[in-house]
């Protein structure tokens, strides 16, 4: 049997506008807010106007990119950008109660090959209860749920002891610039729920992810006398095999929160670039990829692990011994992060979900990818992820989300927020 709702909770739940959630999601999906693009900034300004109409106290500011990049803790970026906007909105008033943050990122990854999509990726399609489009689950449905929860709390007239805050951020997909800049501006809270897609679970821990680049030298020559040169592609092959062995070793004993994943700390080469002429032996190969960081592992230790692997491989190879590969670390640098074991935020959100849906509390698990969770956790804000959608559909041409699940998440956020910050 679910717990009875208080009068304040019942009033706020009654104010959740299900039709408006669908409309908001379609509006958000129609903005092609690819990481680093002008549309990313456009969406931040649109959201700021929405939050202002709700009567929230809104802080919309241009981030000082040179200062953030010079910060020793800067998480890195991959997409070029000329600007970044921060956006925080808080419920007005409040007293001595805590602050709960509802956080989400506005940026999406590029759509990829348009031929693999059924229609334009940025023209959302609704089929029954399902909404299709780039960013549907990662994570504009989460943004829509956050907005709906805030709107319902404001419309209900609830008198809060504390505050509910929205942190809408840019640049999550390539490192976490937006969350980093928001925290550096001084915006913080007592707890944080990030509405990333969690598929009906509570994600209380994230693996980390580091972008690496390996440059393999060769010796260019005419292809007709290839024995006069050394192919950088051939020279790379032993390094590739060594990386596979490194991945196997690093995944030998995963944390129990990651036990459902065959490879929780994946190490993958995503791009290979070599050669500039078909009739030439290539003199350079550049491999770029992503290295998973184990839960609780410091990123510098993970980097040292890969660098040592490459160095040992070079030492065993006659060509690479004299012409060693060079490893660098451009792009996003995600540490791991977790909600402290036993923290009440897990049960708060889990119980709210159970009370709203009539289902058992969601199970707890870790996620094998990096997210803004680790930045909030590192700043001392206990954080978990709970949101609509299945992450397995993110970043692909079948990206979609359930509207009814999005509504359930919005209603759960209403109850969790009111119980967290308290009412008077």
139 prior amide bond cis, ω within 30: yes
Of 107, 174, 288, 317, which one is the catalytic site residue? 107
Q: Is 107 among the catalytic positions?
A: yes
* CB < 8 Å & 24+ apart, contacts of 249-255: 250/292, 250/294, 250/305, 254/294, 255/205, 255/294, 255/295, 255/296, 255/366
Which tokens in the block code for residue 385? 């992820």
* HSE (side-chain half, CA atoms, 13 Å) at 171: 32
Q: Is 17 among the catalytic positions?
A: no
Of 9, 138, 172, 173, which one is the catalytic site residue? 173
Asked if residues 35 and 79 have their Cβ atoms less than 8 Å apart, the reply is yes
d(CA 305, CA 412): 42
Those residues whose C-beta lies under 8 Å from the C-beta of residue 191, and which sit 6 or more positions away, are: 98, 99, 100, 101, 345, 348, 381, 382, 383, 420
Those residues whose C-beta lies under 8 Å from the C-beta of residue 290, and which sit 6 or more positions away, are: 209, 210, 211, 212, 266, 267, 268, 270
**In this structure, is the dihedral angle defined by the CA atoms of residues 200, 247, 230 and 330, taken in order, positive or negative?**
positive
Residue with tokens 């041409």: 397
Neighbours of 178 (CB within 10 A): 28
- Please give the positions annotated as active site: 107, 173
């Amino acid at each position: 049997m679910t717990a009875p709702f208080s009068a304040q909770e019942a009033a706020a739940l009654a104010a959740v506008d299900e039709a408006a959630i669908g409309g908001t999601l379609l509006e958000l999906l129609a903005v092609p807010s690819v990481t680093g693009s002008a549309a990313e900034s456009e969406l931040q300004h649109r959201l700021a106007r929405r939050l202002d109409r709700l009567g929230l106290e809104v802080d919309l500011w241009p981030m000082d990119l040179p200062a953030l990049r010079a910060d020793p803790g800067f998480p890195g970026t991959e997409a070029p950008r000329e600007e970044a906007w921060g956006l925080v909105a808080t419920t007005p008033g409040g007293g001595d109660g805590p602050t709960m943050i509802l956080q989400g990122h506005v940026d999406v990854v590029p759509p990829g090959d348009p031929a693999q999509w059924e229609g334009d990726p940025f023209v959302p399609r609704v089929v029954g209860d399902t909404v299709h489009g780039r960013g549907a689950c990662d994570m504009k449905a989460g943004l829509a749920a956050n907005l709906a929860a805030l709107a319902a709390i404001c419309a209900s007239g609830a008198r809060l002891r504390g505050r509910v805050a929205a942190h809408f951020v840019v640049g999550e997909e390539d490192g976490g610039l937006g969350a980093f800049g928001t925290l550096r501006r001084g915006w913080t809270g007592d707890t944080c729920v990030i509405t990333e897609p969690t598929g009906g679970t509570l994600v209380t821990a994230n693996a980390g992810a580091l972008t690496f680049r390996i440059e393999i030298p060769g010796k260019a020559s005419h292809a007709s006398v290839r024995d006069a040169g050394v192919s950088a592609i051939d020279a790379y092959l032993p390094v590739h095999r060594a990386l596979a062995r490194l991945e196997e070793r690093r995944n030998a004993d995963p944390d129990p929160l990651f036990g459902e994943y065959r490879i929780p700390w994946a190490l993958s080469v995503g791009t290979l670039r070599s050669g500039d002429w078909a009739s030439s032996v290539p003199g350079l190969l550049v491999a770029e990829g992503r290295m998973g960081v184990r839960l609780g592992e410091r990123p510098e230790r993970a980097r040292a692990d890969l660098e040592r692997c490459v160095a040992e491989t070079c030492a065993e190879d006659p060509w690479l011994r004299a012409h060693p590969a060079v490893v660098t670390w451009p792009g996003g640098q995600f540490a791991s992060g977790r909600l402290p074991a036993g923290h009440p935020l897990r049960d708060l959100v889990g119980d709210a979900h159970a009370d709203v849906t009539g289902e058992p509390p969601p199970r707890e698990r870790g996620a094998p990818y990096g997210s803004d969770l680790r930045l909030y956790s590192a700043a001392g804000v206990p954080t978990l992820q709970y949101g609509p959608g299945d992450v397995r559909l993110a970043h692909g041409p079948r990206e979609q989300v359930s509207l009814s699940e999005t509504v359930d998440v919005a209603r759960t956020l209403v109850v969790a927020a009111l119980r967290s910050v308290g009412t008077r």
